[in-house]
Amino acid sequence: MKQRRFGCMAFGIVWAIVFVMTNFGLALGDHADGPNDRSINPLTVVFWIEIAIFVVGLALFVRAEMKDAEF
């Protein structure tokens, strides 16, 4: 049980740090080519990948929690 708690805590801390850094980068913006540039910002793609990783991690945790019921 303690390994899962440590793993969840480590996952949450690392995910939160990366999420905050990505949002900080998005807040700064990427206007090197001008504000009318229609190219896709790579940080936007990373943002949605992070959301997907969070949802998958949550699904795995809930699945394991339903098997144990002793977190």
pLDDT tens figures, 1-39: 677 778 888 888 998 999 899 888 888 876 555 666 677
> Domain residues of the chain, as ranges?
2-29+40-68
Question: With 70 as the cut, is the pLDDT of residue 41 above it?
Answer: yes
Interatomic CA distance for residues 36 and 57, integer angstroms: 37
Q: Is the pLDDT of residue 44 over 60?
A: yes
Q: First CA to last CA across the chain, in angstroms?
A: 6
Positive or negative, the CA dihedral 42, 43, 44, 49 is positive
* Whole-angstrom distance, CA of residue 48 vs CA of residue 38: 18
Looking at residue 17, its pLDDT comes to: 92
Going by C-alpha positions, the residue among 65, 66, 62, 24 that lies closest to residue 46 is 24
